[in-house]
Homo-oligomer: A and B are copies of this chain.
Amino acid sequence: MASWRKLGLIAGGGELPVVLAEHCAATGRDYFVARIEPFASAALESHPGVTLNLGAMGGRMQALKDAGVDAVVLIGQVPRPDLSQLKLDERAQAMIPTFLAAASNGDDALLRVLLEEHEREGFKVLGAEEVMGDLLAPEGAWGAVTPTDAHHKDIAKAAKIAAAIGALDVGQGVVVAGGVPLAVEAQEGTDAMLARVASLPATVRGTPEARRGVLLKRPKPIQERRIDLPVIGPKTLQGAAAAGLAGIAAEARGALTVRRDEMIAEADRLGLFLYGFTRAEVGEM
């Protein structure tokens, strides 16, 4: 595992950056939060740091250096920006050609450019799981509910579909129920996909009274694992429950969990399984 003196959290939206900042504060680590405006959660404002817009690339790197940061983690959601609307500083303007070239190769290529720019500037770039290993999805059942044989079949099929769409940089999430692929995630995100499943005809999906099917998330095979690992949290569970699913599966050590204890308690209460599958058990090695 890498070592560093002071950690910079480059923070987009969602709960994951908040969880990580709270973890740093609770364990007495030296850290600094570069909040990306307007995406970063307001809950981050009580932590040491700076708030800058997405286009302030040079300004942000300087602020991180001034604070003594030597390693950064890129964390949280940032929607694809409209370049014409961004206030780009000089550093960001110099990156435009590289960005445009990468943009047509998908989200992952775009993030890789950002990551490399920070490495060029002398920062170590870490994955959230290097900073907070217990965020990673564990293997097996996380709570009291375990998948049945039928659920394991859905998990295997969904894992295969997710691998295929991931290899093409489409997305990370898939819903399969009773062998039938109900939904595949692309740009709309997991929450919107689950809302769509909830509105499918009741004949193809489960219900809270008779749960069927699984939401599965796994990293893209080509993915730079330091950024953009799939995330599962209480909101994911809420969406899966409302869609009548029987549970959620994630690749063991291939997804980040947010507020896992809270999620497990709620899943146990609702009767959903939470499960970390290995590649071996879905027939991949």
Residue A140 CB within 8 A of the other chain: no
Query: Which chain B residue has the least Cβ–Cβ distance from A185?
Result: B184
Choose from B104, B170, B178 the contact partner of A178 (Cβ within 8 Å): B104
Residue A36 CB within 8 A of the other chain: no
Residues in chain A within 8 A of chain B (CB atoms): 79-82, 103-107, 153, 157, 160-161, 164-165, 167-171, 175, 178-188, 192, 196, 200-204
Most buried by B among A106, A180, A183, A184: A184
In whole angstroms, how far apart are the Cα atoms of A186 and B181 in the complex? 6
In whole angstroms, how far apart are the Cα atoms of A170 and B202 in the complex? 18
CB–CB A201/B103 < 8 A = no
Query: Which chain B residue has the least Cβ–Cβ distance from A100?
Result: B178
Do most interface residues of chain A lie in helix, strand or loop, or is the interface mixed?
A: loop
In whole angstroms, how far apart are the Cα atoms of A203 and B81 in the complex? 6
**10 closest A-B pairs by CB:** A104-B179, A184-B184, A82-B203, A170-B181, A164-B164, A182-B187, A183-B186, A181-B186, A80-B204, A80-B203
CB–CB A103/B184 < 8 A = no
Asked, given contacts A104-B180, A106-B181, whether A187 binds B200 with beta carbons under 8 Å apart, the answer is: yes
Query: Which chain B residue has the least Cβ–Cβ distance from A84?
Result: B203
Asked, given contacts A184-B186, A187-B183, A204-B80, whether A168 binds B161 with beta carbons under 8 Å apart, the answer is: yes
For the complex formed, measure the closest distance between the CB of A57 and the CB atoms of chain B, giving whole angstroms: 18
In whole angstroms, how far apart are the Cα atoms of A154 and B270 in the complex? 43
CB–CB A79/B187 < 8 A = no
Residues of B within 8 A of A104 (CB): 153, 178-180
Query: Which chain B residue has the least Cβ–Cβ distance from A196?
Result: B188
Can you report 12 residue pairs joining A to B where beta carbons are below 8 Å apart?
A80-B203, A81-B203, A103-B178, A103-B180, A104-B153, A104-B179, A160-B168, A161-B168, A161-B170, A165-B184, A182-B187, A184-B186
